[in-house]
Homo-oligomer: A and B are copies of this chain.
Amino acid sequence: MKVRNLLGERLKTVSEDCQIESQALMLRGGYMKNVANGIYSFYPPTQRISKKIQQILREEMDRIDGQEVLFPVVMPASLWEQSGRYTSIGSEMCRFTDRSDNKMVLGMTHEEAAVQLSSNVAKSYTQYPYMIYQIQTKFRDEPRSRGGLIRVREFTMKDAYSFHTSQKDLEKYYKRAYEAYNRIFKRCGLKNFIAVKSDSGMMGGKISHEYMALTDIGEDTLVLCDCGYKSNMEVADSIVCNEAATPNELKKVPTPGKKTIEDVCKFLNADVINSCKAVMYQENLTDKYVVVFLRGDLEVNETKLRNYLKKEIHPAVDVECAGLVAGYCGPYGLKTSATIVYDKSLQGAANLVAGGNEVDVHYTGLNIERDIGKVKYVDVAKAKEGGICPVCGKPTLRISRGIEIGNIFQLGDKYTKSMEMTYLDAANTAQYPIMGCYGIGVGRLIAAVCQESRDEYGPIWPISIAPWQVEVCNLRVSDKDVTKTAEKLVKSLERAGIEVLYDDREVRPGFMFADADLFGVPLRVIVSPKTNERAVVEVVSRDKTIKTEFPVLSAAKEIVKLVKKMLKEFEV
């Protein structure tokens, strides 16, 4: 491929509003073009990267006995009504009616389609387990697309579905999928990624893991410990140890104008960990109020609260009408119809500062068991930096950020049961299969790799997924000898199966190299009057670890050897 023929343009600056570096580099490098909010077309380099990733996905899915199938993008709503998700999923699912007024949806995931395809054909336990997967376009009407390919509305996804006769068999397979995912990300050249426990969200099921590329610009917050504990903040346990103390007297104290727990504690000369703060929510459907009391130094983990309440919630507005005094709400003397939730961080806490349920008034010396009575404590707080690890018990938690690049779920029988898919077991009894599902978004993976592997001049693509393996830069196309050397080399490399990008434009070397940096091709070969004079070619790697010369005569052979060696590093 010649750069002069390649569709796309490299830019010095980017006009679109970019939140993250990989997005800016990929727009500057002619990788993609925005078509609508969260919808992109791919220029050839991105499609080349995408196809290489798809090939890795296929190989690893086949390695764990996957069978490739194809589900439709457009599905009848009836299929989603069977599973109950037609109503349980909100406006991120795209719905429309076809010309015959049938309700249709655009697939955002394909559990229903996988069950439909399996129904009536996997009838005997002898046919289990099996796994089917596809690589297909998905559409999710995200409210906020961001970061280029990080969060889009339309994307190519590898989604896999496994079917089992027991939870135990699913767990066995789940481990294989877990390992396959590790291999996939390694083969794609990602270095900093981990699998964390996660919330299963709209998928249903109990156990699930997210694969996270660790990066400061990640949308997800992760809780990690040196002992190996890894969890998405959404589901991370918050463990708090309160020291015992002799109970003081409960006292009403004036706290004029002090509304935040930090201000109150400062004013009263108390430590924030000896305070009880209130955070107020409302249920989405009923507007009913929910008050969470937790230790003043902690934050509410809304996912855990949501899972505990089994209700969707939002931050409360207009709390006065529920008898709640904003800024001064506390458990003592509170008169309200709101649901009260006590976080575990208050268990065993003594002598707390807490709201007095009157403007400008707080209490000190609050001891919940003595002053309120027995209450139920629930863990609805966020884990925090330096917090106690639920596995090793040491106060060594670290908080990191990550981009979700894949996920695996143990679904149980949610879909097979609701859609009435059964098989006959050895005793000839009808049973619901147990399912697992496994997803990886291709575009987001490309963006995550770019975000991790880049410098200020462009992406540094791992050779396993790079759009081309070698770029040959001809610095003087008007010089017949230089061009002869370059073209001969390009041909020899291509004959040896190497993917070559060839730049023979009549442009300044600086311009050509700036473009090459944006292409991010792992190996760059420079042919110029100078190198030609000495009968060598110059070879530098995009990551600057290699800078060498090869004699023109053996250059092709040496470069092929080098490419093979570099590829080998990504074999797993």
Q: A-side interface residues toward B, CB under 8 Å?
A: 1, 4-9, 30, 33, 35-37, 39-44, 46-48, 50-51, 65, 67-76, 79, 91-92, 94-96, 98-100, 102, 104, 106, 113, 116-118, 120-122, 126-127, 130, 132, 134, 136-137, 139, 141, 143, 153-154, 156
Contact = CB atoms under 8 A, between A and B. Distances in A.
Contact of A41 (B33, B39, B44, B72): B72
Given A7-B67, A36-B75, A39-B72, 18 more contacts: A5-B67, A6-B67, A7-B121, A7-B130, A33-B117, A35-B76, A36-B76, A37-B100, A39-B75, A41-B70, A41-B113, A43-B69, A43-B117, A47-B68, A47-B134, A74-B153, A92-B99, A99-B141
A72 B40 CA distance: 7
Contact of A70 (B4, B50, B70, B98): B50
A561 B526 CA distance: 43
A74 B126 CA distance: 41
16 contacts: A6-B67, A7-B69, A33-B116, A36-B75, A39-B72, A39-B74, A41-B71, A41-B117, A43-B117, A46-B70, A48-B68, A72-B154, A73-B73, A73-B137, A99-B143, A136-B137
A68 B91 contact: no
A436 to B, nearest CB: 15
B9 A73 contact: no
Nearest to A66: B44
Contacts of A43: 69, 117
Contacts of A134: 47
A89 to B, nearest CB: 12
Among the interface residues A41, A44, A47, A73, which one has the most CB atoms of the partner chain B within 10 A?
A41
A35 B116 contact: yes
Contacts of A143: 99
A7 B9 CA distance: 45
A386 to B, nearest CB: 40
Q: For chain A, what secondary structure do more than half of its interface residues adopt (helix, strand, loop), or is it mixed?
A: mixed
Nearest to A65: B5
A111 to B, nearest CB: 13
A371 B132 CA distance: 74
Most chain B CB within 10 A, of A47, A122, A127, is at A47
| Those 9 A-B pairs whose CB atoms lie nearest each other, nearest first | A96-B96, A42-B70, A36-B76, A9-B121, A44-B67, A91-B99, A41-B117, A99-B141, A39-B72
A5 B30 CA distance: 44
A118 B30 CA distance: 11
Contacts of A9: 120-121
A51 B75 CA distance: 22
Nearest to A8: B121
Nearest to A156: B70
A151 to B, nearest CB: 15
A113 B130 CA distance: 39
Contact of A106 (B5, B7, B47, B74): B74
A154 B75 CA distance: 10
A39 to B, nearest CB: 5
A92 B33 CA distance: 27
Nearest to A10: B121
B72 A116 contact: no
B117 A7 contact: yes
Contacts of A73: 73, 137, 139, 154
Contacts of A8: 121
A35 to B, nearest CB: 5
A136 B139 CA distance: 14
Contacts of A118: 7
Contacts of A65: 5
A242 B311 CA distance: 83
A51 B51 CA distance: 13
Nearest to A106: B74
A95 B130 CA distance: 37
Contacts of A30: 121
A41 B69 contact: yes
B74 A139 contact: yes
A4 B68 contact: no
A40 B127 CA distance: 23
B127 A5 contact: yes
Contacts of A106: 74
A498 to B, nearest CB: 15
A8 B67 CA distance: 11
A39 B74 CA distance: 8
Nearest to A112: B35
A343 B39 CA distance: 50
A68 B51 contact: yes
A44 to B, nearest CB: 4
Contacts of A50: 70
A153 B47 CA distance: 25
Contacts of A94: 74, 96, 98
Contacts of A1: 67
Q: Most B CB atoms within 10 A — which of A5, A37, A65?
A: A5
Contacts of A33: 116-117
A391 to B, nearest CB: 38
